[in-house]
Structure 1
Amino acid sequence: MRSRYTAFARGASDYLLATWHPSTRPSRVRLDPAQRWIGLRILHTELGGEGDDTGLVEFVARGKEGGRGFRLQELSRFEKISGRWYYRDGEHR
């Protein structure tokens, strides 16, 4: 989760696509260069350990755009395939 947040903050769409689950991966990621990400707080995790194949992460990401603050809260689902974690999907809260 933290690496994907960092990829959003740095504009690394290639990394976002590479870590997106093949069954839900879009053909491209459109990042808004006017958005500036300024913080991530993990609220809750479930599963996602060494022996798990799935995991949940609830987070709040804060940012600014045009001088105004915004926040994104999501419950994200991840799945491990061949030892590597992929973002499957999420529900905005």
Structure 2
Amino acid sequence: MDKDARCLCNSGEIYGSCCGRFHVGYRELEAPVWPGTAVELMRSRFSAFAMMLPDYLLATWHPTTRPTELELDEAIVWRNLEIIRTESGGPFDQSGIVEFEAHYRILGQRESQHEVSNFVREDGRWYYLDAVE
């Protein structure tokens, strides 16, 4: 994706200064760049689904709930992310909740996924833990 294009996560920012910095920065060996809040992580994970980046998704999934592998469905075209609400999940919190609706198309049909997700922060880094709904 062009770093100057509008980010897929619907933040209103450009990709390079939004989710793109995490998609590239997490691989830095000396100073990896990780999202600083649960919402940033949620947005970057949505963009990773849209861009078919399973390695990033696995890297941001908590080790206790992470699958061993992740195969993304190429028929799903992720279109829009709507953050409905958050609880905690700030830079100094240890846990957070993000409720969202992710809109997508599959085989020409419009669909959406509603989820309440749990996030945890360990060693200064946020992880997706699991879904409540």
In structure 1, C-alpha distance between the alignment counterparts of 2:132 and 2:52, rounded to whole Å: 22
Matched, 1:70 2:80: no
Distance (whole Å) between structure 2 residues aligned to residue 37 and residue 74 of structure 1: 15
Q: What per-residue deviation string (whole Å, max 9, x for no partner) do you get for residues 36-71 of structure 1? A: 000000000000012100000000000001000110
* Residue 4 of structure 1, CA deviation: 0.2
Q: Residue type matched to 1:47 in 2?
A: S
Alignment match of 2:127 (pick from 70, 86, 92) = 86
Flag the structure with higher strand content: 1
Choose which of 26, 42, 56 in structure 1 pairs with 2:97. Answer: 56
C-alpha separation in 1, matches of 2:45 and 2:111: 18
Please report the TM-score for the alignment, with normalisation by the length of structure 2: 0.68
**Structure 2 residue 87 is the aligned partner of structure 1 residue 46:** yes
Q: Mark the runs of 5 or more structure 1 residues left unpaired by the alignment.
A: none
Where do 4+ consecutive residues of structure 1 move more than 4 Å? none
* Displacement of 1:30: 1.5
Which amino acid in the other structure matches residue 87 of structure 2?
E
What residue number does 2:67 align with? 26
Answer with 1 or 2: which has the greater Rg. 2
Who is 2:6 aligned against?
Answer: none
The answer for unaligned runs of 5 or more in structure 2 is 1-41
Q: Which has the higher contact order (CA 8 A, sep 6+)?
A: 1
Structure with the bigger percentage of helix:
2
Task: State the aligned residue count.
Answer: 92
